[in-house]
Structures are given as C-alpha cells and as structure tokens.
C-alpha cells in the first residue's frame, strides 16, 4: 500500500538531493514541486566521486545509463604519502571490485550529473520545477504543509522535503541547532586542462596525497579533457565561506612542508576558489509531522569519504521506497528516518576520523597509517568498505545472467 496524496509533495532545494528525490517520488507515482532559491538550476563546475552505492541508487531510480554517460571509470583509488612523495597503497577498481559491489567507482562532472537529473525531472509529468523560490519557513495543519517564501509567496502541498543543503532554513525551524560547525579546514578547487597536468601524474585514478594537516586530491574528468584538483589544509579559520576566489599563493601556503612532486600540482592550478569545510553533529530528529530533512540538510559531513552526495542519493531512493510502501506520510517518514539515521551518522562521524587518522596525521601516526594500509590486500579492502559501498547492492540472483555490472 502506498501513500496517496491529493496535493504534490514540496521539495525545497534543487541540488542533487532535491532532484533525485523528485525522480524517486515520481517513480512511486507521487507528484512534486521543486522550489529552488536560485534563478536557474545548476551546480558548480567541479568534479564529484561516486562510489558503487551511488550507482546502485541510479539503477534504482531507473537512471543508471544516463548517470554513466560522461563518467570516467578510474582504475584505482591511490593513496600517496605527500611527505615522502611515494605511493602508500591503492585499491584496484577492477572487475573484481565491480563484481563484489555490483557497480563501478567513477568520477563525473557535477554539472553533467546535475544536468542529467534535471533532464529526468523535466521529462516527468509528475515533477514541476520552480526557480527563484527561497523557502524560509513552513506551517502545517495535519493534512497539508505550507512553505513560506522570502518574497512572501506561499505554496501548499501534502508534505515538505528539506533538500536545502548545509544552511537549511527548514532545519533551523525543525531542529534549531544553529549554524554548522566550522572545521577550521579549507578546501581549494581548480579544474585544469589535462595538458597542464604534469605528465607523470596523469593517472587514471582518484589520487589522494596525505600530508600533515593537509591533503591533495586529483582525478581526470570530462572524457580526460580536464583534471579536477581539490586541495585542503588546516588554516583554523572560524568563518564559513563558500566559493570565494582566492590567490594561488594562499593555496600554496598550506603545502610548503610537503614533497615538491605533490606541491607542483598546485602550481598548475588556476582560478582557485575556496570552501571552508563545515559539518554538524548527527541528530536523530529529521521529521516534524509532514516535514522531513534529506541530504546535507539532514547530515552535512566533511567531504573526506567523498560520500555526501552519495548519501543524498541513498536518502532519495529510500524516501521514495518508504512513500511507496507505507499507507500514511507519518509512517513513511518514520520508516525513512529509521532506515537512514544510523548509516548517515556513521559516515558523518567517520569522515572526521579519516581526516584526523588517514589524511592529515604526521610523524609516528603517519607511519602507523602507512604500515596499516600497506598490509591490506584487495580482498581486505572489499571487506573494509563493504558497509559503505555495498549499500543498495541488488541480490546476486537479480543481476542479469548472474553477472555483476561491468563497464
């Protein structure tokens, strides 16, 4: 039995979480209106890593082929010691990995992924997209929810899903836990043409150079036309800033103590922009009557597991499934939170821990990291990562011809 609603669901925010939620609800026959604050839908022009759990979600949304278009299927996740300038270990993303997790690990351009989700929403008769709609608050009366806009407009629906990100207004009304925690770590992003990437670093890998209080990530993107650079260091800032242009020298300042081979990557970046990293403590309070939090609005995390968007996609699939299998919105939302809270909280908390113990340690703690990670076999990695990447994996018997998905 599924929820039946006279009115559409309202979705505040048209990012990856909001659009995926609209598709997921539509797949279960539920209409929605996406209310996006910006004057047009879009994403920043950078890359995003997607684990097999994200591809399991795309498949569940009926979106697998589109999601794979334009993805770069990298060969390995490579961990480098940024002080020694040498590889610590790598996780092969080969056929054995894909067979184990039923899906690949890939990197995509955010704009391509978001654009494909937007196309799917535009193609659905059950999804209405509205821009310049900044949701500030909500009221509800037991059978409807009214979203109140910054321009005093109102929209009434059967339920409201808050997909309005890290600084969610709806979360402030629902949870009231103030501003996000500022981590004191800042990430700088640049995208460069592949020919500007040093020859000996043009690897088909998501590479992470781990150094004391800093790390550097790079991977190819957009059919190998560009490389995505994401570099992070502890600069102890206390103010949350997002997307601000910044000089190269400010970026370089955090990496003066690491190997020249890693430092040179920053030299090649242009048009750097910064994001001060923020997250929150987990909360098990995602629901208020007919209002539910989803994605970063529910569980913002440091990006160190590269899983924030993957978690938003999982939330979206789960929400649709719960609405499709429960008779009331209350029951569907309670089941959604029950299914999603502990898992997303684990990723939030562990994202902090891998920052401290894997990406940013120095001296003896870095030696411990190297020794521990070098001792792992590919099979060990599968077991270590199973809880994370195995989520949503279809039962083996449902895979075509008994074969896992192989690109």
* Footprint on this chain of ligand FAD (rule: CB under 6 A): 12-18, 35-38, 48-49, 133-135, 163-166, 169, 187, 230, 275, 295-296, 303, 306-310, 312
- Identify the DSSP state of 38: S
- What is the closest distance, in whole angstroms, from the C-beta atom of residue 199 to ligand FAD in the complex? 25
Residue closer to ligand FAD, measured from CB, 16 or 251: 16
- Say how many C-beta atoms besides its own lie within 10 A of residue 176's C-beta: 8
CA distances from 125 to 27, 120, 348 (A): 11, 10, 35
Q: How far is the CB of 80 from ligand FAD (least distance, A)?
A: 18
> Cβ 336 to ligand FAD, closest distance in Å?
15
Residue 164 vs 288, nearer CB to ligand FAD: 164
For residue 156, give both structure tokens.
């009434």
Closest CA to 62 of 25, 15, 13: 25
Q: Which is nearer to ligand FAD, 278 or 370 (CB)?
A: 278
- CB 385 within 8 Å of CB 78: no
Q: How far is the CB of 184 from ligand FAD (least distance, A)?
A: 15
Can you tell me which residue has the tokens 């992003």? 189
Compute the least distance from the CB of residue 327 to ligand FAD, in Å. 28
- Report the nearest approach of ligand FAD to the CB of residue 168 (Å): 7
What tokens were used for 331? 């029951």
CB of 136 or CB of 335, closer to ligand FAD: 136
Q: Decide whether 181 or 331 has the Cβ nearer to ligand FAD.
A: 181
Backbone phi, then psi, for 148, in 5-degree steps? Answer: -105, 135
Contacts of 338 (CB under 8 A, 6+ apart): none
Six-digit token string for 204: 């088909």
- What residue has token string 């910054």? 150
| C-beta closer to ligand FAD: residue 17 or 355 | 17
Compute the CA torsion angle 46, 49, 54, 56 (nearest 10 deg): 120
């Amino acid at each position: 039995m599924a929820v039946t609603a006279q009115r559409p669901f309202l979705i505040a925010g048209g990012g990856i979480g909001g659009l995926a939620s609209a598709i997921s609800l539509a797949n279960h026959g539920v209409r929605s209106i996406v209310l996006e604050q910006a004057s047009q839908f879009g994403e920043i022009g950078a890359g995003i890593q997607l684990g097999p759990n994200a591809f399991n979600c795309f498949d569940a949304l009926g979106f697998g082929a589109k999601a794979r278009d334009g993805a770069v299927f990298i060969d390995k996740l490579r961990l480098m010691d940024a002080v020694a300038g040498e590889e610590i270990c790598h996780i092969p993303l080969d056929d054995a990995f894909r067979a184990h997790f039923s899906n690949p690990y890939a990197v995509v351009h955010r704009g391509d992924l978001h654009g494909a989700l937007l196309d799917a929403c535009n193609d659905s008769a059950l999804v209405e997209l509205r821009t310049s709609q900044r949701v500030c608050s909500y009221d509800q009366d037991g059978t409807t929810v009214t979203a109140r806009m910054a321009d005093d407009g109102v929209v009434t629906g059967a339920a409201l899903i808050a997909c309005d990100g890290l600084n969610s207004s709806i979360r402030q009304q629902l949870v009231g836990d103030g501003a996000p925690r500022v981590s004191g770590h800042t990430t700088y992003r640049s995208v460069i043409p592949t020919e500007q990437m040093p020859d000996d670093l043009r690897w088909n890998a998501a590479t992470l150079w781990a150094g004391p209080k800093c790390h550097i990530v790079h991977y190819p993107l957009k059919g190998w036309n560009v490389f995505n650079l994401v570099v992070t260091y502890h600069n102890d800032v206390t103010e949350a800033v997002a997307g601000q242009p910044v000089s190269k020298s400010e970026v370089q300042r955090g990496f003066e103590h690491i190997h020249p081979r890693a430092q040179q990557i920053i030299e090649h970046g242009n048009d750097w922009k910064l994001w001060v990293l923020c997250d929150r403590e987990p909360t098990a309070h995602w629901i208020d009557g007919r209002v539910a939090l989803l994605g970063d609005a529910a569980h913002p995390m440091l990006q160190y597991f590269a899983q924030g968007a993957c978690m938003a996609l999982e939330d979206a699939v789960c929400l649709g499934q719960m609405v499709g299998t429960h008779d009331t919105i209350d029951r569907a939302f309670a089941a959604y939170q029950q299914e999603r809270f502990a898992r997303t909280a684990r990723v939030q908390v562990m994202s902090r821990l891998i920052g401290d113990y894997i990406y940013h340690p120095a001296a003896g703690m870095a030696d411990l990291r190297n020794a521990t990670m070098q001792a792992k076999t590919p099979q060990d990695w599968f077991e270590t990562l199973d809880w994370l990447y195995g989520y949503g994996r279809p039962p083996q018997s449902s895979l075509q011809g008994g074969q896992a998905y192989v690109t």
